[in-house]
Amino acid sequence: MIEKRQEVNATSAEKNIHTDFTNNMTYGEYLSLDKILSAQNRLSGHHDEMLFIVIHQVSELWMKLILHETQAAIKSIESNDLSTAQKRLARVSKTQSQIIQAWDVLSTMTPSEYMEFRDALGQASGFQSYQYRMIEFALGYKTDHVLKIYQKDPELHNRLQEAFEAQSLYDVAIAALQRAGLHIDDEVLNRDVTKTYQDNESVRLAWLEVYRNTDKYWELYELAEKLVDLEDWLQQWRFRHMKTVERVIGFKMGTGGSSGVGYLKKVLDQRFFPELWDIRTEL
């Protein structure tokens, strides 16, 4: 009897649920699910190719959000709205945690299963992910040779060129240090932003001052910790990428022509915000 009464109450409570969408937008239409869910086109027909495609598509969606939030954070820092920038970057870090976990799912695919459809990929490779390149550019790691990959699509190439020539997240953070009255060398403030950032003594000393006087520079201190979070998670993503590739294909050459695991191990040495890591030894 009690269960029957609960069922009636539940039905009564949900009487306003909409069921007629003849003239209204549905959930699927809002999200364009017809396009998204019809984009998993297996070239080999192999069962596990679906996993491979979905993982990479989901990762690209998360990267789209990472770029959206990072670019917004850059604009917030430029306008000296550091609290909003911190919120944006906190969301980036949470998003990164999701993209890292995707490797755990892909790792359920064995080497034998992957080899059943690997040839169908041709020369397509994650190395060619333009969103990943734009994330690298936004964080200050600039390499112009990768732009050649995207010459096939002039519109996309122009977008990447624009991102390549733009100030990075760290460039605007350093400018915020200078606006707060901390000394930054002119050569850093006026540097060629198409070059990968190199550590600088004046930047190191400025961040050291921030960390030694957190009450005075609280917002800069919080911003610095968000930057450290971001690089930490990115390196964890790279490490999981490298180990997943090693687990699935060993030390074979990548489909895009890279050295595969060798290349992925090398990029683990890249640093984005070097002074923020170096000062920890001095504190």
Question: Is 153 a domain residue?
Answer: yes
Domain contains 118: no
Q: With respect to residue 36, please indicate whether it lies within any of the assigned structural domains.
A: no
pTM of the model: 0.90
8 found inside a domain: no
Inside any domain, residue 39: no
List, as residue ranges, the binding site for heme.
241
pLDDT digit string, tens, across residues 192-232 = 999 999 999 999 999 999 999 999 999 999 999 999 999 99
Domains held by the chain: number? 1
Residue among 221, 182, 228, 180 at smallest CA distance from 205: 182
Please state the residue numbers annotated as binding site: 52-56, 114, 118, 241, 255
Query: Where residue 61 falls among pLDDT bands split at 50, 70, 90?
Result: very high
Q: Is residue 230, in this structure, part of any structural domain at all?
A: yes
CA–CA distance, 209 with 164 (Å, rounded to integer): 31
pLDDT digits (tens, 9 = 90+) for 26-48: 999 999 999 999 999 999 989 99
Any idea what the CATH number is for the domain that residue 146 is in? 1.20.58.480
CA-CA-CA-CA torsion sign (36, 42, 43, 49): positive
- Rounded CA gap, 135 and 119, in Å? 28
Q: With respect to residue 66, please indicate whether it lies within any of the assigned structural domains.
A: yes
Cα 219 from chain centre: 23
**Domain membership flag for residue 199:** yes
pLDDT at 262 over 90: no
The binding site for substrate consists of: 52-56, 114, 118, 255
Q: Which residue has the higher pLDDT, 277 or 14?
A: 277
Q: Are 211 and 221 in contact (CB under 8 A)?
A: yes
Q: What confidence tens digit (pLDDT) does each residue in 194-204 have?
A: 999 999 999 99
Residue 200 sits in which domain range?
46-107+126-281
